[in-house]
Amino acid sequence: MESTLYFGGLLIKSIAFLGPKGTFTHEVASFLGENLFSYCSIPSVLKAVENGECDLGVVPIENSIEGPVGITLDLLVHSKLYIQGEIVLPISHNLITKRDCEIHDIKYVYSHPQALAQCQSYLENRGLKPLFTLSTAAAVKLVVERNDSAAIGTLKAAQLYDLNILDKNIQDTDNNKTRFIILSKDFGLKSENNKTSILFETYQDSPGELYHILGFFANNNINLTKIESRPSKEGLGKYIFFLDFEGHKNDKVVKDILDKTRTKTSIMKVLGSYPSL
């Protein structure tokens, strides 16, 4: 049965997401449709959309505690896809074990490094040893056969493997949210409230130039909602900046700012305009 959901005016046929099943990205992709395809890495999600295997791709881009997802930002530098939308998901971590396990049986806790980092105090206070896996879902799958280990993962993953939730909301802070982006080959149409994402690399004297570029936005009262630096991989102290701001690429004031920004940068790329949350 083919899904007939629409997103940004497009009929959604198929959605690639960062798997395996039971991850937070799976949860987000489920909001968009039913025709979901799991891919094992962020680069392979982007590739699936680029080569037409899927119509949309869903990947995480930043977490309010851990910061940016470096590989997503790095891939956007060279990708031909556009950001069509964003979804922010509150992250709640659960301690998951086999049905017959109790807390005093547990010595090891498996999960993705970022999930372990977000539950560090909880683990330290209970003397539990963290061990890395490639995803939270992989961790949950692994504890199906362990009596001395728990996994940190989603409710969805616990259901998938018929496991027990030993403890809920074990993250260190309650401000834990992850922002996911929805990627497609098409540039987003203008809606009522828009947001635009760009990246750029300044010439030599990077931070001084950044000041001038931020001035283009400040002087036009365009509010920035995000600024992030990533190493440009050309040496320490050289950065690519990622900016999100209010407005659509086709708004006159935005067009003017982008034209001025181009004169101050060696690389400037519009990553997408999409409805702001």
Q: Which of residues 170-199 bind a second copy (CB under 8 A)?
A: 173, 175, 177, 179
**62 near a second copy, rule: CB under 8 A:** yes
**127 near a second copy, rule: CB under 8 A:** no
Question: What is the DSSP annotation of 56-120?
Answer: EEEEEEEETTTEE-HHHHHHHHH---EEEEEEEEE---EEEE-TT--GGG--EEEE-HHHHHHTH
**168 near a second copy, rule: CB under 8 A:** no
Q: Which of residues 17-46 bind a second copy (CB under 8 A)?
A: none
Whole-number Å distance between alpha carbons of 91 and 273: 25
Minimal distance in Å, beta carbon 237 to a second copy? 5
**229 near a second copy, rule: CB under 8 A:** yes
**132 near a second copy, rule: CB under 8 A:** yes
Binder of a second copy out of 15, 45, 109, 210 (CB under 8 A)? 210
Piece of the chain touching a second copy by CB under 8 A; list 47-55, 58-66, 75-83, 149-157: 58-66
Piece of the chain touching a second copy by CB under 8 A; list 12-20, 28-36, 66-74, 141-149: 66-74
Piece of the chain touching a second copy by CB under 8 A; list 3-11, 130-138, 159-167, 247-255: 130-138
**93 near a second copy, rule: CB under 8 A:** no
**266 near a second copy, rule: CB under 8 A:** no
Residues that bind a second copy (CB under 8 A): 62-68, 70-71, 88, 113, 117, 132-134, 173, 175, 177, 179, 205-208, 210-212, 214-215, 217-218, 223-231, 233-237, 239, 243
